[in-house]
Structure 1
């Protein structure tokens, strides 16, 4: 399956609840905009409830807390574990608009180690 395809995001959504620990009070509705993908611009989103990705899909999300815009290559590097989330945010590789307090909550999830752990198998069968 292709990275950021509907199939990829569906598989991510299905894996998340069984593979991530609950982190109370971490609830974030995140809109992503990937630019420079093989398909052009791709909008997708994550719904995080108690630290667990409970929803993922293509398209625009109503009432998002954050919007993150990033180059496709940077998103691939992040997913492959070659780009650290904090580095991407500090250097502007991941441009953020919205509630900065929610960015801290998102970082708890992305930097917990569990995110890459539970996506490793999915990433291994993903075309980039």
Structure 2
């Protein structure tokens, strides 16, 4: 989520925006999409962060939707960043990647031991 005074700046490809967030995951996703923008850290509870946004020269701040909704601050939401990967999806992607790496390691190990891959994998995983 972005809490913003005005989101028109997102349509200007040459604009060098400044977005506040404390999440490295959100920073990297934002910069990947808006290469000319910068990010800065923001600390404090949600209400403090919203106050800091209003008093700053930042163009916006990224918040978790669940946190804003839980605190009944949905009216602060200027736009939903549905293109941004959420934490749960990140965890699932990491789990899947680790499984794939483990399978590759087992396959590489199997190629030197000549054991059937399914036998080696069942021993290694269990």
TM-score (normalised: structure 2): 0.25
Identify the structure with the greater helix proportion: 2
User: For the pair shown, which has the larger CA radius of gyration, 1 or 2?
Assistant: 2
Identify the structure with the greater strand proportion: 1
TM-score (normalised: structure 1): 0.25
